[in-house]
């Protein structure tokens, strides 16, 4: 950074895609022995989009990436790095970034995945920012994409988790620029955190090499439904509110800003009650928070870029605005970003 002057990263293109098939809460009532009222009261979710057929995570990512590149006004060949955030990769290996690279026909450029779950996009922004500031890359495609629907327990036993998640992808193109001052569009600051002592409060136990001497996946594990996600909802709620609010407070303080200096807040969309509580604790006016969970559910690494795309299309997010983002997810992981869009 010291050798790169005022080199900064700016988001110049935003895209998103969700599969066309909509599942409302009413569609899930009989399947999961639940109700629209129960889901909305506890989460704020009204509907979510789930894939059909052989669509995989990188397929959703292609659509979001193409829109982001188009909006950026650059040729796709100008992309020199792909960062792919997902917890639901096409396959265990290689990373979905490589599958996305092939589908975009961008051979030879750097491509890697990050596994920070719901905090994946924030971690990805921090990494892209650092790589651009260092001078290593000029144009980075950062994608968050998930296909949750193929990994959910769609029985009454899985209700508490399965009602939460949707499929979707969001992408941004970041480019290097010489910032004259803080009024120029740029990423300002991030902070990232994790506490692995809570890793098993929100996780999928199998398949994995940490399950004793047996194979990564066994019939016994499947009978125990260890291949479906488990969540300690109370722990997640408590730590999410605390982690997001503290992280965002820290980032704003380090940037010598306050809540009043921020034009728009984009929080990870896991639970509307979490975001409302964070806003309440930090004294954020509700009209400064843009939520999309009611339409898409929790799309994990994709929630913030999908929210950005929707906010732009709604005329809520405009160039020159100061934007603050915060997320919390499995790991536990959490973090925040402040930028000038």
Give the Cα separation of 127 and 40 in Å (integer): 35
Question: Is 267 found in the same domain as 309?
Answer: yes
Domain count, the chain: 2
Question: What mean pLDDT value characterizes the chain?
Answer: 96
**b/e per residue 131-149 (b: at least 16 CB within 10 A):** bbbeeebbbbbbbbbbbbb
Q: What is the pLDDT of residue 269?
A: 98
Question: Is 227 found in the same domain as 124?
Answer: no
Question: Is 166 found in the same domain as 42?
Answer: yes
Q: What is the pLDDT of residue 214?
A: 79
Among 118, 191, 239, 271, the active-site one is 118
Residue 87 is assigned to a structural domain of this protein: yes
- Residue numbers of the domain that contains 317: 186-340
Residue 116 is assigned to a structural domain of this protein: yes
Question: Is 33 found in the same domain as 159?
Answer: yes
- Catalytic site residue 118? yes
For 27-39, what is each residue's pLDDT tens digit?
Answer: 999 899 999 999 9
Strand partners, 143: 84, 171
For 277-298, what is each residue's pLDDT tens digit?
Answer: 999 999 999 999 999 999 999 9
CATH of the domain at 126: 3.40.47.10
- Catalytic site residue 81? no
pTM: 0.96
Among 25, 98, 268, 275, the active-site one is 268
pLDDT tier at 5, thresholds 50, 70, 90 = low
Residue 193 is assigned to a structural domain of this protein: yes
Q: What is the pLDDT of residue 164?
A: 98
Instruction: State residue 182 phi and psi, 5-degree precision.
Output: -70, -10
Q: What is the pLDDT of residue 212?
A: 84
Question: Is 334 found in the same domain as 253?
Answer: yes
Question: Is 171 found in the same domain as 34?
Answer: yes
Give the Cα separation of 242 and 269 in Å (integer): 16
Q: What is the pLDDT of residue 213?
A: 85
For 209-268, what is each residue's pLDDT tens digit?
Answer: 998 887 899 999 999 999 999 999 999 999 999 999 999 999 999 999 999 999 999 999
Residue 1 is assigned to a structural domain of this protein: no
State mean pLDDT over 183-195: 97
Q: What is the pLDDT of residue 3?
A: 40
Residue 317 has pLDDT above 70, yes or no: yes
Residue 2 has pLDDT above 60, yes or no: no
Question: Is 174 found in the same domain as 194?
Answer: no
Residue 111 has pLDDT above 70, yes or no: yes
Residue 2 is assigned to a structural domain of this protein: no
Question: Is 125 found in the same domain as 203?
Answer: no
Residue 109 is assigned to a structural domain of this protein: yes
Question: Is 194 found in the same domain as 324?
Answer: yes
End of a domain among 178, 208, 236?
178
Residue 298 is assigned to a structural domain of this protein: yes
Q: What is the pLDDT of residue 160?
A: 94
End of a domain among 134, 161, 178?
178
Question: Is 137 found in the same domain as 15?
Answer: yes
For 67-106, what is each residue's pLDDT tens digit?
Answer: 999 999 999 999 999 999 999 999 999 999 999 999 999 9
Residue 329 is assigned to a structural domain of this protein: yes
- Catalytic site residue 298? yes
State mean pLDDT over 142-149: 98
Among 139, 191, 271, 298, the active-site one is 298
Beta pairing, strands 186-194 & 168-178:
unpaired
End of a domain among 178, 199, 216?
178
Question: Is 246 found in the same domain as 129?
Answer: no
pLDDT tier at 1, thresholds 50, 70, 90 = very low
Q: What is the pLDDT of residue 4?
A: 58
CA dist list (Å): 75 to 9, 15, 104, 251: 18, 15, 12, 34
Question: Is 302 found in the same domain as 196?
Answer: yes
Q: What is the pLDDT of residue 97?
A: 98
- Percentage of the residues of the chain whose pLDDT score is greater than 70: 99
- Inter-residue contact 329 to 202 (CB < 8 Å): yes
């Amino acid at each position: 950074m010291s050798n790169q002057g005022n080199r900064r990263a700016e988001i110049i293109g935003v895209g998103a895609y969700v599969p066309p098939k909509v599942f409302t809460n009413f569609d899930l009532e009989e399947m999961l022995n639940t109700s629209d009222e129960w889901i909305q009261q506890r989460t704020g979710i009204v509907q979510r989009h789930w894939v059909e057929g052989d669509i995989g995570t990188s397929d959703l990512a292609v659509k979001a990436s193409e829109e982001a590149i188009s909006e950026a006004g650059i040729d796709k060949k100008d992309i020199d790095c792909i960062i792919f955030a997902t917890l639901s990769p096409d396959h265990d290996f290689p990373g979905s970034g490589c599958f996305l690279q092939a589908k975009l026909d961008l051979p030879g450029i750097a491509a890697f995945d990050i596994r920070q779950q719901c905090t994946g996009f924030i971690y990805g922004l921090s990494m892209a920012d650092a790589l651009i500031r260092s001078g290593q890359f000029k144009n980075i495609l950062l994608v968050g994409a998930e296909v949750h629907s193929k990994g959910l327990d769609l029985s009454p036993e899985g209700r508490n988790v399965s009602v939460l998640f949707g499929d979707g992808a969001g992408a941004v193109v970041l480019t290097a620029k010489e910032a004259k001052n803080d009024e120029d569009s740029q990423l300002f600051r991030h902070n990232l955190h994790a506490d692995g002592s809570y890793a098993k409060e929100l996780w999928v136990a199998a398949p994995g090499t940490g399950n004793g001497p047996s194979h990564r996946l066994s019939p016994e594990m499947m009978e125990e439904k260890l291949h479906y996600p488990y969540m300690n909802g109370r722990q997640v709620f408590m730590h999410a509110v605390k982690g997001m609010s503290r992280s965002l407070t820290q980032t704003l303080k380090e940037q010598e800003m306050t809540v009043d200096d921020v034009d728009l807040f984009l929080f990870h969309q896991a639970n509307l009650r979490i975001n409302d509580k964070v806003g309440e604790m930090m004294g954020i006016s509700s009209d400064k928070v843009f939520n999309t969970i009611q339409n898409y559910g929790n799309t994990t690494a994709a929630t913030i870029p999908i929210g950005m795309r929707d906010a732009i299309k709604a005329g809520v997010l405009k160039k020159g605005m100061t934007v603050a983002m915060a997320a919390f997810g499995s790991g536990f992981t959490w973090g925040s970003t402040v930028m000038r869009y």
